[in-house]
Amino acid sequence: MPGAIYVNKPNFGYMNWKEYNLEEVELVGLCTDICVVSNALIIKATYPEIKVSVDASCCAGVTPESHEAALTTMKMCQIEII
């Protein structure tokens, strides 16, 4: 992906997203219901006007139910689920 930034973050709820000049974000990873949802919500709160999306097919939760709950939570917070 042209212009992509790959972040090797030290913890699941990374707080230094302001270090990057983000214009759009797509997240993937494990676990949907811990790492992905935490970072998606932090990024959306930090950059409320940018497009934040999560590729659900490239994520997995602790359980199928918690995966779906995290996806639902993100949808309610204007994060696009693809």
Domain locations along the chain: 23-81
Backbone torsion region of residue 78, taken as left when φ is above 0, otherwise alpha when ψ lies between -120 and 50, otherwise beta: left
| Residue whose pair of structure tokens reads 């992905």 in the numeric block | 36
Residue 79: partners with Cβ closer than 8 Å, 6 or more residues away: 40, 41, 44, 52, 53, 54
pLDDT for 2: 61
pLDDT for 15: 85
pLDDT digit of tens for each residue in the chain (82 aa)? Answer: 567 777 777 777 788 888 888 899 999 988 999 999 999 999 999 999 999 999 999 999 999 999 999 999 999 999 999 9
pLDDT for 17: 87
pTM score of the predicted model: 0.87
